[in-house]
């Protein structure tokens, strides 16, 4: 049971979602090795939510959106100033999301937009209020043109006792191929094993 309680180079993602419809598997695949999987994500414009949905539709998993006590503004200049300050000070915005039974999961996907070259601050809040020691952590992110490397370093630093797998980054303008790349990535990191017939159908 999931319980919900409280804790671009420099640009936030403020463009509207541009993900095209895709054909999805009829049934999500069983994770390799029968691991229990949770997908947790923060999304401001909906792009990261879409990628989280692709993973959830492919892998049997639970899905939870990270929500903050105070909603981030849609005003670009105000948002940019706010998140620059939050990133610089390593601020952890209070969350309304808390997963009480996180110990039940073996694999935790962490999704987020890249804000000011790193993971959006609510991800820091989540990772500092949930114990992921001994778990496999898998980052995924959406961005403009920024690199994801700083965000991956942040995830590793906040999960020092976790195994952090290779992440995936979906940049603006590449959503038309995002679904297929997500599937290939899930196979590459060993989360799912799809047979050749299923691959040929795609």
Under a CB-based contact definition with an 8 Å cutoff, are residues 16 and 181 in contact? Answer: no
What is the average pLDDT across 146-174?
96
What is d(CA 80, CA 99) in angstroms, rounded to the nearest whole number? 29
pLDDT of the residue at 198: 45
The tokens for 168 are 């995936």
pLDDT digits (tens, 9 = 90+) for 11-26: 565 444 455 545 555 5
Banded model confidence at residue 6, pLDDT cuts 50, 70, 90 = very low
pLDDT band at 192 (very low <50, low <70, confident <90, very high): confident
Residue-level pLDDT at 27: 64
């Amino acid at each position: 049971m999931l319980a919900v309680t409280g804790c671009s180079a420099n640009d936030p993602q403020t463009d509207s979602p541009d993900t095209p419809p895709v054909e999805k598997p009829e049934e999500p695949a069983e994770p390799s090795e029968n691991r229990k999987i949770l997908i947790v994500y923060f999304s401001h414009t909906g792009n990261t939510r879409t990628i989280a949905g692709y993973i959830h539709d492919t892998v049997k998993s639970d899905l939870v959106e990270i929500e903050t006590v105070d909603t981030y503004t849609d005003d670009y200049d105000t948002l940019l100033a706010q998140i620059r300050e939050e990133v610089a000070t390593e601020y952890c915005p209070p969350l309304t999301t808390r997963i009480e039974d996180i110990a039940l999961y073996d694999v935790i996907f962490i999704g987020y937009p890249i804000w000011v070259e790193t993971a959006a601050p609510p991800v820091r809040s989540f990772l500092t209020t949930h114990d992921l020691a001994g778990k496999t952590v898998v980052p995924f992110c959406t961005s403009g043109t920024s690199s994801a490397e700083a965000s991956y370093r942040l995830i590793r630093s906040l999960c020092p006792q976790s195994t952090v797998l290779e992440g995936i980054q979906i940049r603006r303008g590449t959503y038309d191929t995002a679904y297929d790349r997500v599937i290939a990535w899930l196979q590459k990191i060993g989360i799912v094993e799809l047979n050749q017939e299923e691959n040929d159908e795609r």
